[in-house]
Structure 1
Amino acid sequence: MTQLRFDDRVAVITGAGRGLGRAYAELLAARGARVVVNDSGGTMRGDAVEADVAAEVVREIRGFGGTAVASTDSVATPAGGESIIDTALNTYGRIDILIHNAGNVRPGSLTEMSFEDFEAVLDVHLRGAFHLVRAAFPRMCAAGYGRVVLTSSIGGLYGNQKVANYAVAKSAMIGLSNVIALEGAAVGVKSNVIVPAALTRMAEGIDTSDYPPMQPELVAPAVGWLAHESCSVTGEMLVAIAGRVARAYIAETPGVYQPSWTIEQIAGHLDAIRDTDGRNWILPVVPSAHIDHITKSFALATEGQ
C-alpha cells in the first residue's frame, strides 16, 4: 500500500506539546508536513504555564529531519487564534490543515461549578475552535483546499458527571464541524470530528492498571487520515479508543405521524416513537441533511392528510 504523505502541506495543531496533540504533530511531520506546534504549556486547569513544551516537540521533530515551528499563543482569544494561523502563513506561506486539540479541564458538579470555570473551559475548547476556524477558513476557501479536524469526546457524545463545561464544549464541536463541512463543500474544504481516548495527563488520578494499551499513537492514524487529501468524508465523526476505530453518527427513528397530538397520545405511542428497528434515518450532513430532515418530515405529514 502506498504511504499517505503530507509533503508540501502545512498543518496547525493546537495542544501539540503533549499527549494526543504531540502524537499528531510527530506523525504528520514524519510524513512530510510542515507543522506549527501550538501549545501554551499550561496546566490542565489552564490557569498557569508549566513549561515550554511546544519548543521541545519542535526540537524532536527537527531531530528526525522534520520541519516544525513553535507557537505558544492561547487559542482562548480571537487575537490568539489569529496569531496561531499567522504563524503558519508567515513561516510557510499557507495553511492546509487545522487540528484543534487544545483543551483544559475544570471539574465540578452542577451544584458547585463556578461561572468562571464554566467559561474558562468553553474559552479553550469551543471559542478556541471558532477563533482558529475564523482565521483559517477564509484562507482555505481562497486556496480551494483545506482539512479541519475538531476534537470531541465521549463526554461530548454521552455526557459525564461533574464536567458540564467540558461536555457542553465537546458536543458543540459537532455542530461547528458540520457548518464548516457545509460551507466548505463547494471549495474543497472538509471538516470532521475525532472522538479520541488515550492515556494522557488527563487520566492522572484514575486507576488505569486494568486498561488495555491506550497510547496516543493509537489515535494518531485516524486523525492523520482525516487530515489527508485523500480523506473521502466530511461532516462525520470517527471514534478512536484502545485500538478501536469506529464511526459515530446521529440518527432519527422514523417516528409516528398524526395530524394532532395530546400529551396522553405521546405517552401511548412512546414505544413506536422510540423504536429503533433498523429503519432509522441517517442523514449525511453534506450535502443536505438539514433539508432532508425537513423534507422527509413534511412528506409524512403530506401522506397522512
Structure 2
Amino acid sequence: MTISFEGQVAIVTGAGNGLGRAHALELAKRGAKVVINDLGGARDGSGASSEAAQEVVRLIEEAGGEAFAHGANVAKFDEVQDMVQQTMEKWGRVDILINNAGILRDKSFAKMDLADFQLVMDVHLMGSVNCTKAVWDIMREQNYGRIVMTTSSSGMYGNFGQSNYGAAKMAVLGFMNTLVLEGAKNDIRVNALSPTAGTRMTEDLIPPEIYELMTAESVTAGALTLCHKDAPNRFILCAGAGGYASTRLFETDGIFLPEAQQSADEVKANWDAICDLSNQADLKNGGEQTEKFLTKAMTYIQSQK
C-alpha cells in the first residue's frame, strides 16, 4: 500500500537544506501541502537567508504541489506562532510537524562557552517545544496530529565534543514520552527519528566514500513512516545509509532490599542482580517504575506475616 499525504498539511522546520529539504520534497510528492521553514543560517546558526527555502518551494510548485516558505527562527515563539497562523489562514489545518531544524557548536565541554551550550539547547529543544506548542491545540481540536522529533545517537549514546547537542537530543525524547501520553485521546502520535546522513552538519566529519552512501533520502524514507495516518506512537527509528533500526529504553526487573539492608554496601553487593537482563521491561510511563518497586515492597511485607 502506498503511503499518501493527500489533503494533509505539513510543517517541516529546517527544510531549506539537507534532511528537512528531503522530507519536504517527499511529503509534497505524496500529496501534502508543505510549509518550508528555514531561517537560512549557517551550520552554527549564524546569519539568515530565504534563498534555500524559496528554492524548495519552487521545486514543489514546478512539480504541481503546494508550498510556501517561512523564515521563523524556531527558538523564538512569536515567530513560530506567526508561521502557524499563516498556515491556518492559507490551508486551515496542520496535520504533520517535523521538528528538524538544528545547529552545531561542537567543542569539548572543558572548552565550551556556556552561550554555545544555551544556543544549541534553544534551537534543538526549545525549537521543538515552540513549534509543538504552536500546533498542539490545533491538533487537539481536529483530533489528529503527527509529530516527529529529531533525536541523535549523540544524545542516546554520547559523542565527544557534543555535550550541548547530545543533551538537547536526549531532551526531545523526554518531551516526546510525555506528549505521547497527553496526546493519545486526540489521536496525536509523537515519534522520534535518529538520522545518520551526509548533510551540511556532517560533511567535514565523514570520509567522502562513506558520505556518498548517507543520502538524506534514505533517512526521509524512515521519517515518513513516522508521520503518516497509520504511524506508530512513541517510536525511536534510527535511519542512515539504507539501515533502519529501533532504539528502546528498557529497565531491569531489579531487586528489593528490606529497610535494614538499604545501604550502599548492600546495593554494591547486589550489583549483578540489579543488572540482570532476564526480566527487563519497556515501561510505558514513569508510574510503572513506582508501581514495580511498591509491588516488590508489598510482596516482601506479605512474606513476613
Question: Which TM-score band applies after superposition, normalised by the shorter structure?
Answer: over 0.9
The corresponding residue for 1:296 is 292
The corresponding residue for 2:136 is 137
Q: Kindly state the Cα deviation for residue 50 of structure 1 after the two structures are TM-superposed.
A: 5.2
CA contact (8 A) 1:181 1:234 kept: yes
Q: Kindly state the Cα deviation for residue 276 of structure 1 after the two structures are TM-superposed.
A: 1.9
The corresponding residue for 1:225 is 225
Alignment of 1:19-168 (within 5 A): 19-49=18-48, 52-168=51-167
Aligned residue identity for 1:291: G
Q: Kindly state the Cα deviation for residue 100 of structure 1 after the two structures are TM-superposed.
A: 0.5
SS at match of 2:283: coil
CA contact (8 A) 1:38 1:73 kept: yes
SS at match of 2:226: helix
Aligned residue identity for 2:265: E
The corresponding residue for 2:256 is 257
- The 1-side partners of 2:226 and 2:42 are apart by 28
- Taking structure 1 as reference, are residues 75 and 283 closer, same or farther at Cα in structure 2, changes over 3 Å only? same
- The 2-side partners of 1:87 and 1:247 are apart by 35
C-alpha RMSD of matched pairs (Å): 1.3
SS at match of 1:113: coil
Aligned residue identity for 1:221: A
SS at match of 2:44: coil
CA contact (8 A) 2:215 2:240 kept: no
CA contact (8 A) 1:81 1:132 kept: yes
SS at match of 1:280: coil
Aligned residue identity for 1:35: V
Q: Kindly state the Cα deviation for residue 210 of structure 1 after the two structures are TM-superposed.
A: 4.6
Q: TM-score, normalised by structure 2?
A: 0.94
- The 1-side partners of 2:275 and 2:93 are apart by 48
Q: How many residues align?
A: 298
Task: Provide the identity percentage.
Answer: 36
The corresponding residue for 2:275 is 274
CA contact (8 A) 1:36 1:87 kept: no
- Taking structure 1 as reference, are residues 33 and 207 closer, same or farther at Cα in structure 2, changes over 3 Å only? closer
> 5+ unaligned residues in a row in structure 2: which ranges?
none
Q: Kindly state the Cα deviation for residue 271 of structure 1 after the two structures are TM-superposed.
A: 1.4
Q: Kindly state the Cα deviation for residue 290 of structure 1 after the two structures are TM-superposed.
A: 2.2
- The 1-side partners of 2:50 and 2:186 are apart by 39
Q: Kindly state the Cα deviation for residue 81 of structure 1 after the two structures are TM-superposed.
A: 1.8
CA contact (8 A) 2:144 2:187 kept: yes
SS at match of 1:105: coil
CA contact (8 A) 2:96 2:227 kept: yes
Question: How big is each residue's C-alpha offset from its partner over 1:245-272, in whole Å with a ceiling of 9 and x where there is no partner?
Answer: 1111110011111113211111111111
CA contact (8 A) 2:38 2:50 kept: no
Aligned residue identity for 2:287: I
- The 2-side partners of 1:103 and 1:182 are apart by 26
Q: Kindly state the Cα deviation for residue 35 of structure 1 after the two structures are TM-superposed.
A: 0.2
Aligned residue identity for 1:268: A
- The 1-side partners of 2:104 and 2:86 are apart by 26
Aligned residue identity for 1:48: G
Q: Which moved more, 1:239-248 or 1:18-27?
A: 239-248
SS at match of 1:201: coil
Q: Kindly state the Cα deviation for residue 145 of structure 1 after the two structures are TM-superposed.
A: 0.5
